[in-house]
Structure 1
């Protein structure tokens, strides 16, 4: 009953918000969906001599990708790629004599991933440059996300009608407290950790001082990494870039050129003419430059290199919110992940496992069940953890099941804390003519009720559960990271850390991405040179593919905020912990 009413609450609020925004969106999402299904450009799918590899930055890149026949319905000519596929494809192009250059095409947007995953892509671009081949990056409206990749290019070009956004990072958080109060939905909170902010959207109207403090520090770390990386690419000091952000923010093409952020102002046809000179062969008629998209090139090289190995490193993806039970496609269901771990443990071909964690956390019970299965598997085979954009709270809880933890400097991790959120519908139901009554045989028999607020005695009882689980969390961290209780207490309280800060404080072992974790796993398992990689993921549903298509194809700020509200409401539906205790960091979009 509690889950049903929680789902109704989330759905009802979602409908209200949808009606508010429906006029503004004006059918645009449906149009995008129809266009995505119905139209695609003709694209070369076979690599010819003297070909330019084209990476459209709007190509969706994520840890896992939609697979199978259903997934192909939602794929335009850009084609989804997993992070590993994108990396290995660019590395293959570096060694392929048929590929003469790489065009990073930023006209349509960016991959829509966090800066940690963007950072993992950069070494592949460096490998491409080291082969002696040039990279050209072209964009109309460069933002920090696309420029974080594009700045590495040998030539960065901006359209004469374009602009460049170098104005710092910010984060928005929708707060639902006013809506809950207006509709008579009661909320009571249990939590441990002064920085544990996941409940704030349901209880506050603005960031708490503690949350503002940790977010300011986190954004400062991520922004500092951006300034350092991009500054190195463009021969600028971090302070020079900070001055540009503080005094200009949005730069028109001439200003971007004068600031040394781009190398050229040109229309795309002018860049295409330059690339045509690279691809033309003697006696060949003039034509558009010979090109192949990164997704089609991936298909070409993957078919040519497919083989099976007797010894393998398995990549097991743990992506999404952690839920108790089976879970859905964009969730980490404890039952499903445990079953996969058991299968890998019993598979003689699998010699080591890389657990790729990209999760803000979720159910504390589910996190502990997964950790237990990881520990059982780790006793038989090495487990190396690779953190993606976020591995916080419950995501960090399960990461402790690895022999070694890898993270990028701008990974978001930590958030060692727990909370409970208790919802009651007494006021909203009474206001609509519905009353409740109850008969029970013991004082706490209806402690899970949503018909009324919990009593002081019930709150005290449930706070004991939260305190107990927080203590368990601290003990797990102390044991798993070889830290003293005092050290863990200082790092905990629900505070998030950047990957760099986490390594300095002993929460992470190595700075590095998925490729580094795979290489370390093979070394730990003593596999030598003859080994392969097998990936384990799930088939998405029709609904998820539709939502992914809309999210990827729609770039307006209004739609982005609408999708963030949807995410916030979806969390309510995901909260299914048997004890109503959660280890979760709130999902926020840093931009």
Structure 2
């Protein structure tokens, strides 16, 4: 029995020792494994002699898109890639690549873009400036596309070599704007429309009232399109050493060019398949033709790489960048909206932050609620009393978008920024006729004349229309007063250039609505100077 107990005890001690040793080794192994994994997880790697790949199908926005719950779940469960990237990320990444000795060239890949670019020309202008800086550093830019649209060509035209697929084509047919009109359909179905507006160029209501463009709407659309087209012709022509007149001739005589025609016209450098472009990319990176590939990294991936330029000293003093992108609404706002409460809260927080020495307000908005715009503008004015507020306008700063911008210490716009639209409108729909035609009627009991003035079951009375028009007139006059005061312009001049008309950035500068032509980088640089932050 004693021997049995001794053996049992020894066996138990051995088992416990083995277990402890196993657990210790296991923990140690796990720790080693974690250290090994951590040591390997250093983020994206950049090889020497690499090419930065810029997918021209990327949707460039000012702010990160806000996904709804269903959209987020759908994207997570699918293989769909996020094709959006912020303008700030694009500019910073291109500038980082300009200084990175490991990046020797940039490849503009348009072959993934089947539906055409949705980016505005003001946004593309800023990207093009970054490409110019990259090129000025002595680095090559190579472009390849299958079907080359005008927006893609606006960027690609800067390339040292432009390749176009032999079976592809190139768009060079100018710009157009087409408006749909609903007047006939609304009358047919019995939908009543009553309009309130101030400003003969405030054309947003015209589709509900007319069957074609008014002379005023056609005039401003023509002027704006020619401003955009003129910027395109001069910029592309300079890069390709073709006069604007020659490009205009191509647009008028051909419009769509086959690959060989584009080559003959000097619009592209080579007609080639992708495998032939691949040979050129290998050559740039020092690889032989029979190499399987070449060192490369996508722009979205390279954006996550640490900046090799760490020589800039750290400072607690900051220039804050705030975005107002989308329609302006009251409250918090949602996806692609500028909420008056959320943006006002941001501005108040920055106003009280002692480390923030200046604010850059980036506006990219078609407007929206006048009340919400005024709430935001008030916070801009209060912030300006404490520190410089510089405004950078993107593709559009119209109506309410210009309302919130006008009190900036200095306003920057791109040549093609859609600016102004200083005007007000209201649209009042009613369903009385369509309802009555289908046997539906209403009756009402009320305590006062205007108690049911917001109903859609009948047209507004003359008294009700007068009440609404009074409100519209008041908002318009406030708009004029604010522009006159903030821009230091005679009110009579503001009345002349207002009327709901939109202007290009270049024309807006001539009229005194903006101070300087330039992009977001220029605005940030100016803000730093005003805040006396040095370099």
For Structure 1 versus Structure 2, the TM-score category normalised by the shorter chain is 0.7 to 0.9
Distance (whole Å) between structure 1 residues aligned to residue 80 and residue 292 of structure 2: 24
Distance (whole Å) between structure 1 residues aligned to residue 143 and residue 249 of structure 2: 24
- Note the 1:260-339 alignment, pairs <5 A: 260-280=266-286, 286-301=291-306, 309-339=315-345
Do the aligned residues in 2 keep the contact of 1:280 with 1:286 (CA within 8 Å)?
no
Aligned: 1:371 with 2:377: yes
Structure 2: gaps (5+ residues): 1-42
Distance (whole Å) between structure 2 residues aligned to residue 85 and residue 420 of structure 1: 38
Distance (whole Å) between structure 2 residues aligned to residue 288 and residue 244 of structure 1: 38
Moved over 4 A (4+): 67-72, 74-79, 302-309
Match of 2:350 among 331, 338, 344: 344
Offset at residue 436 of structure 1 (A): 1.4
Deviation track 1:325-364 (CA, whole Å, cap 9, x = no partner) reads: 2221211111111111111112222221111100011111
Do the aligned residues in 2 keep the contact of 1:276 with 1:287 (CA within 8 Å)?
no
Match of 2:258 among 244, 252, 261: 252
Give the TM-score of the pair, scaled to structure 2.
0.87
Match of 2:105 among 101, 104, 107: 101
Aligned: 1:205 with 2:205: no
Distance (whole Å) between structure 2 residues aligned to residue 67 and residue 393 of structure 1: 24
Q: Name 1:547's counterpart in structure 2.
A: none
Offset at residue 303 of structure 1 (A): 9.8
Distance (whole Å) between structure 1 residues aligned to residue 59 and residue 330 of structure 2: 29
Deviation track 1:292-316 (CA, whole Å, cap 9, x = no partner) reads: 1100011113699699741111111
Q: Name 1:62's counterpart in structure 2.
A: 61
Distance (whole Å) between structure 1 residues aligned to residue 149 and residue 382 of structure 2: 45
Offset at residue 388 of structure 1 (A): 0.5
Offset at residue 181 of structure 1 (A): 2.6
Offset at residue 66 of structure 1 (A): 3.4
SS in 1 for 2:306: helix
Distance (whole Å) between structure 1 residues aligned to residue 313 and residue 336 of structure 2: 29
Offset at residue 79 of structure 1 (A): 4.8
Give the TM-score of the pair, scaled to structure 1.
0.79
Distance (whole Å) between structure 1 residues aligned to residue 403 and residue 298 of structure 2: 39
- Note the 1:108-123 alignment, pairs <5 A: 108-109=112-113, 111-123=117-129
Distance (whole Å) between structure 1 residues aligned to residue 262 and residue 396 of structure 2: 32
Distance (whole Å) between structure 1 residues aligned to residue 206 and residue 122 of structure 2: 25
Do the aligned residues in 1 keep the contact of 2:319 with 2:358 (CA within 8 Å)?
yes
Match of 1:231 among 234, 237, 242: 237
Q: Name 2:8's counterpart in structure 1.
A: none
Deviation track 1:163-193 (CA, whole Å, cap 9, x = no partner) reads: 1111000112222333333332211000011
- Note the 1:561-580 alignment, pairs <5 A: none
Distance (whole Å) between structure 1 residues aligned to residue 472 and residue 514 of structure 2: 25
Offset at residue 462 of structure 1 (A): 1.3
Do the aligned residues in 1 keep the contact of 2:48 with 2:103 (CA within 8 Å)?
yes
Do the aligned residues in 1 keep the contact of 2:361 with 2:391 (CA within 8 Å)?
yes
Offset at residue 444 of structure 1 (A): 2.2
Match of 2:399 among 387, 393, 396: 393
Do the aligned residues in 2 keep the contact of 1:273 with 1:289 (CA within 8 Å)?
no
Match of 1:82 among 82, 86, 89: 86
Q: Name 1:432's counterpart in structure 2.
A: 438
Do the aligned residues in 2 keep the contact of 1:140 with 1:158 (CA within 8 Å)?
yes
**Structure of greater Rg:** 2
SS in 1 for 2:453: coil
More RCO (CA 8 Å, sep 6+): 1
Do the aligned residues in 1 keep the contact of 2:51 with 2:104 (CA within 8 Å)?
yes
Match of 1:511 among 517, 520, 532: 517
Deviation track 1:58-78 (CA, whole Å, cap 9, x = no partner) reads: 122111123799497388567
Match of 2:189 among 183, 189, 194: 183
Q: 1:51 to 1:524 in 2, by over 3 A?
A: same
Distance (whole Å) between structure 2 residues aligned to residue 245 and residue 79 of structure 1: 31
Distance (whole Å) between structure 2 residues aligned to residue 80 and residue 214 of structure 1: 31
Do the aligned residues in 1 keep the contact of 2:446 with 2:452 (CA within 8 Å)?
yes
Aligned: 1:92 with 2:92: no
Q: Name 1:148's counterpart in structure 2.
A: 154
